Amino acid sequence: MNNKMNSLPSISVVIATYQRPEYLQSALSCVLAQSAQASEIIVVNDSPSDDYTSCDELVNLSNAKLISTDGSKGANHARNTGANVASGDVIAFLDDDDIWLPEYLSKVVQAYAEDRKVVATLCGKRIMERQHIEKVNSEGFLTKAELQKGNTYCGVSGFTAKKEYLKQIPFDEELKNAQDWDIYIRFFQSGMCVKNISLPLYLYRTEVNSGITKSTQIIQPTQALYRLDAALKHRAWLGEEAFRERIISQTLTNLMGKKYKLSWVKVCAEFIGWKSTVSALFRKFRPSKKVSK
């Protein structure tokens, strides 16, 4: 290894799980299959009343520390709980429904070893059900321009951070949506160096999130206002243009598939005004120009 590299950090893995023992088995298996081994694995179960006995063998094999919350405190509470008891220099988060590729932790360790200024890392992903589809941000570091577009990097399963900095900037337990985007913004706002590893290093399961998408198609938008909380929280930092685009994305995306179309349009207008809302609708639904031969 290059002599200029710093000493290798120890890695604590924190897996948040909720009512998905079958997914937890896959998550534990992928951690055990890493080419660079973690120093400890912590599983935080946010649904302790569910039967997780099917995971006992893997929990014992991995020597994982199992922690149960009081129940249904939310993913961010589970992540913070795991981070607070972790002993590693770096904490790597994994949602139970995602899967790391075998080289993930090795690439993470390398990123920290090569640059001592790095306090957190992100990476790209593949879609689990269609692995030929990759979503990778080519930027080498976290930037404001990218964050203003939304989360163009990765979910929490592609996020690691040094424990000392997570103490300063924990996950916001009040947020139910865009929790990853929120913590990335707060790390950036603090002037911290966040390295983006421009490789697809984990598999992101879309079938779980498609359930969330379906729920927004049939419920009243007033029941989904939590989806706007992160944008409202960071409105001043985002700037009005980026804030408007975020509200448009959260309210008007897949509008034709939603049951309460007019209500969603009204919610959008409530936050960004009718002029901007009508303009956004025109952009979305105007006929495409035919190219003359």
Structure tokens at 49: 């009343």
Give the other-Cβ count within 10 Å of 47's Cβ.
17
CATH number belonging to domain 11-204: 3.90.550.10
Provide the pLDDT confidence category of residue 47 given band limits of 50, 70 and 90: confident
Q: Strand, helix or coil at 193?
A: strand
Is residue 165 within 8 Å of residue 90, measured between CB atoms?
no
Question: What pTM value is reported for the model?
Answer: 0.90
Half-sphere exposure of 52 (CA within 13 A, CB side): 26
Residues 6+ apart with CB under 8 A from 85: 42, 65, 67
Domain ranges of the chain: 11-204, 210-285
Whole-number Å distance between alpha carbons of 214 and 225: 15
pLDDT at 1: 41
Over residues 195-249, the pLDDT tens digits come to 999 999 999 998 765 444 445 667 788 877 898 999 999 999 999 999 999 999 9
Whole-number Å distance between alpha carbons of 191 and 16: 27
